[in-house]
Amino acid sequence: MSRLDSVLEAALARIDRAGRRRVLRPGALLPGGRIRRDGRTLIDFSSNDYLGLARHPLLAERAQAWTAAMGTGSGASRLVTGTSTEQLALEARIAAFKHCEAALIFASGWQANAATIPALLAAVPGAALFTDRLAHASMHAGIAMAGARQHRFRHNDLDHLDALLAEKGADAPARIVLVESVYSMDGDRCDMARLAAIAARHDAFLYVDEAHATGVLGPEGAGLSATVPGAVDLVMGTFSKALGGFGAYVAGSRVLIDYLVNAASGFIFTTAPPPAVFGAIDAALDLVPAMDAERAHLAALGDRLRTGLAGLGIDHGASSTQIVPAIIGAEEDALALSARLEAQGMLASAIRPPTVPPGTSRLRIALRAGHSAADIDALVAAIGAAL
């Protein structure tokens, strides 16, 4: 026992009473949009393996090959001995994929945002910071670490952003705008062309999190930032979702990346990821640009699901991507619906506050390229019957 166990038990009891206790349940991704859990094979509507690459043989083969050639660990942080020529070549590939001058790999998306944001703010004391209200928690963590004040604009309300930039940012030494291109709980997307125009008009530095767009949207899966070439100053994204592996990247100018190597503490003071991670990323970059058929299939599945939910009278918000929320409302109702679906062989996790606002508990339905139209129809029918 630890000296804090009694205090921690009381805290867990409070979480229990609020109906918000979470537990870890083992599972294993399977091909065809399936998952193995508790000895059963379920249709998986909860994982972010959008293109089905997590079980692709080429990623496994490349990870094994890089491990055989370079070992199981990197040995140190990147600035000590943890950088290889292969990693540098891989970062050059990522930069080319994102149409940027340079890129830097981080161990996770959370780490990338939480380390990059305070590094940027340290370079420009007094910068005015503007964030979408629904920006990811890792962005807010980075802002908190910097001790910076932020001006939050209403979700995807670019008129509000425009007004705030004019009102709050005109006299600041710099203006920095933080958004996601696709929002993870709502599946809606930012109007990148208009956002880029507003940022240019106010001479604002534009930081775009592409975690849920990389691989799925934009030309050759390069994300929505690729639809406005040269307009986004910093693009961040992950390899742990559509690219089927692990880790994250930040891409931008050569000067930006060189600065982060020297100023991003989450990069400087952590051991580099192992070679297997880099091998899987390298293989995914071979595959993703040619996966237009899978991207079109995902888009069609999303449209089919939204049509089905609307027919049941279920709000799916402004979703226009492979992420489709079925907004139920009360926490207990969302949990009960998720449990009924699991009993029928479908995994659709309930998302509750504080991840989403009170009264908007939902099933966050994440589509995978291995799903079929029949899978979507079965899900809609099951939701209708459960309700």
Give phi and psi for 225, each to the nearest 5: -60, -25
The reply to whether 168 belongs to the active site is no
Q: At residue 79, what is the residue type?
A: L
Name the residue with tokens 């592409």: 210
Q: What is the dihedral of CA 313, 318, 323, 329, to 10 degrees?
A: -50
**Six token digits for residue 355:** 């991840």
Q: Is 379 exposed, middle or buried (0-12, 13-18, 19+ CB in 10 A)?
A: buried
The one catalytic residue among 98, 202, 241, 297: 241
Query: Of the residues 44, 91, 132, 209, which is catalytic?
Result: 209
Listing DSSP states for 9-51 in one string gives: HHHHHHHHHTT--------EEETTTEEEETTEEEEE-S---TT
Q: Tell me the β-bridge partners of 189.
A: 182
Cβ–Cβ < 8 Å for 384, 337: no
Q: Is residue 140 among the annotated active site residues? A: no
Q: Which positions ≥6 away from 225 have C-beta within 8 Å?
A: 98, 181, 192, 208, 210, 213, 218, 231, 232, 235
Residues 6+ apart with CB under 8 A from 352: 19, 20, 331, 334, 335, 361
Instruction: Verify whether residue 180 is a known catalytic residue.
Output: yes
- C-alpha 97 chain-centroid distance: 18
Active-site choice (136, 202, 297, 371): 136
Query: Looking at 46, 47, 48, 113, which residue is catalytic?
Result: 48
- Name every residue whose Cβ is closer than 8 Å to that of residue 25 and which is 6 or more positions away in sequence: 37, 38
Catalytic: 203? no
Active site residue: 74, 138, 181, 184, which one?
A: 184
Catalytic residue (choose from 98, 212, 297, 316) = 212
CA distance 19 to 150: 32
Helical spans, DSSP H, in the chain: 5-17, 57-70, 85-97, 109-123, 137-146, 158-168, 192-201, 254-263, 265-268, 275-287, 292-311, 331-343, 373-386
Alpha-carbon gap, residue 238 to 106, rounded angstroms: 9
Query: Residue 114 corresponds to which tokens in the numbers above?
Result: 């939480």
The residue from 44, 162, 180, 233 that is catalytic is 180
Instruction: Please give the order of strands across the beta sheet that includes 40-44.
Output: 28-30, 34-37, 40-44, 346-347
Q: Catalytic annotation on 56?
A: no
Token pair 């780490």 is at which residue?
111
Catalytic residue positions? 48, 136, 180, 184, 209, 212, 241
